[in-house]
Amino acid sequence: MYVLIYIPAFNEAAKIGEVVRSLPDSLPNVEQVGKLVVDDGSTDGTAQIAENAGAGVVRHEMNRGVGGAFHTALESALKLGADILVSIDADGQFDPAEIEKLIAPIMEGRADLVTGNRFASGVKPGNMPKVRYWGNIAMSRIVSTLSPGRKIQDVSCGFRAYSREALLNLNLYGRFTYTQETIMDIAFKGLSIVEIPISVRYFSGRKSRVARNLPRYGINTMNIILRTFRDYKPMLFFGTMGLAVMTVGLFLSGFLAIHYLRTGMTSPYKMLGIAGGILVISGLLIVGYSLLADMLDRIRTTQEKLLYYEKKKLFNRTEY
């Protein structure tokens, strides 16, 4: 059993050495524990400090964002033969002592993804800005609604553990962030997800690297969520859109028809009828597109299965 603990870092020279040294060197029933820092284009010596503290380092020449850093960590974990990949932040807000309980459901065969839940107590963590707290709650409800049969209370937590099966199955496209997309990707593929309560510390005055600009964060995150839902449920995504457009069009056309039956005239609502007709036709076209997208989804599903087996060959494990 090989557990790789990964830290994304961007200009974290002040904390990265302390965080790396705080990571466990051994875990119960684990033969090997590795430490990996993905230096995401830092300019303050983060990489050198991390290496001096005992971590392996992969460097990005330019900043790619936490999503890009996770892509690198995922590939590194597969190449190194890790059985479990643990992600933890570089600012020291999570407790490395909780890694043992984080990986337990995977080692027991109960989960493919274990994610920390910062809000299990139902109380806002100390020093966490209210707008971020309520934003996380709203985002969790959206992801839970769109993911099949899942109810996740904290979809944005960066303290997680992934089984090798999850790593082989993950195919991600978002670069801005990855937390919500990984949950949806794993949920749609029928793999198991477990949430466990964790402790977290928010430091007064420290700004999030990812959510520095909350409107931008919300827009980019929703874009990733909707694109993921579109890719996995295209018929529902486009079909709902098409039926909504048709409904508006039928309402406008029906209003004009009732007016004509009452008065024998189309004025002054003639344009409503024209607009209604255009919307009905547009809605039908979108519904037709949803049927085409559903056929393409079958091709995508087959390609993902082939990619899964190709990854198993490429990263050659004894169980294959």
* pLDDT number for residue 186: 93
User: Could you tell me the CA-to-CA distances from 239 to 21, 181, 279, 286, 287 in Å, in that order?
Assistant: 52, 22, 14, 7, 5
* Angle of helix 234-263 versus helix 270-314 axis, rounded to 10: 170
Closest-CA residue to 41 (of 3, 4, 68, 81): 68
Phi/psi of residue 226, nearest 5 degrees: -70, -35
Q: Which tens digits make up the pLDDT trace of 85-101?
A: 999 999 889 999 999 99
Q: Is the pLDDT of residue 320 over 50?
A: no
| Least confident span in 166-180, 198-212, 218-232, 265-279 | 198-212
pLDDT at res. 283: 95
Q: 140, 171, 167, 170: which is closest to 156 by C-alpha?
A: 140
Residue 200 has pLDDT above 50, yes or no: yes
pLDDT at 76: 94
Q: Report which of residues 212 and 27 the model is more confident about.
A: 27
Alpha-carbon span 301 to 304, nearest angstrom:
5
- Residue 130 half-sphere exposure toward CB, CA atoms < 13 A: 0
Q: Residues 188, 300: contact at Cβ < 8 Å?
A: no
In whole angstroms, give the CA distance from residue 268 to residue 263.
11
Q: Give pLDDT tens digits for 292-306.
A: 999 998 898 899 999
- DSSP three-state, residue 99: helix
pLDDT band at 319 (very low <50, low <70, confident <90, very high): very low
The pTM for the full model equals 0.84
Share of the chain above pLDDT 70, in %: 95
DSSP 206-220: PPPSSSSSHHHHHHH
Which pLDDT score, from 0 to 100, does residue 209 have? 58
pLDDT of residue 143: 92
Residue 26 is predicted with a pLDDT of 94
For the chain, the C-alpha Rg in angstroms (whole number) is 24
Contact 183, 146 (CB under 8 A): no
Report how far apart, in Å, the C-alpha atoms of 73 and of each of 59, 161, 273 are. Answer: 11, 12, 56
Q: Is the pLDDT of residue 242 over 90?
A: yes
pLDDT at 202: 83
- CA–CA separation, 145 and 166 (whole Å): 21
pLDDT exceeds cutoff 80 at 211: no
Closest CA to 221 of 184, 176, 155, 187: 176
Compute the mean pLDDT over every residue in the chain, rounded to the nearest whole number: 90
